[in-house]
Amino acid sequence: MLLLANKASERTSNDVVQYIKYFTKSKKCGHAGTLDPMATGLMILATDDDTKKLHDLTGKDKKYTATIDLGKISDTRDLEYREQFTQYEFDDSQIEIDWKKLARPTMEEIKTKLDSLTFSEWNPLPQLPLPPFSAKKIWWKKRYDLAREGSQEIVFQEMKIFDIQIVSYAAPLVQIECHVASGTYIRSIAYRLGKELGTGGILTQLERTQIGEYSLDDIWSYDPASKIPFSEVV
């Protein structure tokens, strides 16, 4: 069975997996991409023999809506921080931020910085820093395990961003819609945008709206007991 689910904030991806496994009475259940506890939106899940289909779905393009606070820096790059900072340690340089004197960037300045991250035949893939607290494996260890052990190494990765559009801007919050390749961290986009503008930047809201051809609009049923909207893919 292949299912689509709309994960709520503060639920983990594993919470959704365990519920679907219980609801469908399945022996096995997996998903095609983790969402952080803070994030909401589309998850694709499969049970039993259909878990084989997840391999192809994992690499599909994804679409998100996100809100970035252009006025903060944190170790996790989002609201779930353990520590906030007053300077960037980036590309072997430090940029001190004076929050009291901070000028608010214009909409055009933000758009220009976001456009510079967008992939085209003239614009190479940007090298963006991986969030220290992520499930990405480095030398067989997940980034969040390394961070908890005290590692401060900055690791860069090519991330393919097809399109970013500004939905709204009311300083210091900017809301964007983005279409990205698998393996792109929206937290990294927030971090780079804040660094380029000199304001700082963390993710305050994230919703995944589409994976490949599947979208949140394809979810049509709702189970009040679990508060997890989900639908079987026909």
Closest C-alpha among 193, 188, 88, 74 to residue 128 = 188
Query: DSSP character for 53?
Result: G
108-125: buried (b, 16+ CB within 10 Å) or exposed (e) per residue?
Answer: eebbebbeebbbeeeeee
CB atoms within 10 A of CB 95: 13
98 a catalytic residue: no
* 83, 74 contact by CB (below 8 A): yes
Tell me the sheet residues that pair with 166: 176
Strands 202-211 and 62-69, bridge-based pairing: antiparallel
What is the Cα–Cα distance from 133 to 147, expressed in whole angstroms? 6
**Across the strands, what pairs with 168?**
175
In the set 36, 48, 61, 75, the catalytic residue is 36
Catalytic residues: 36
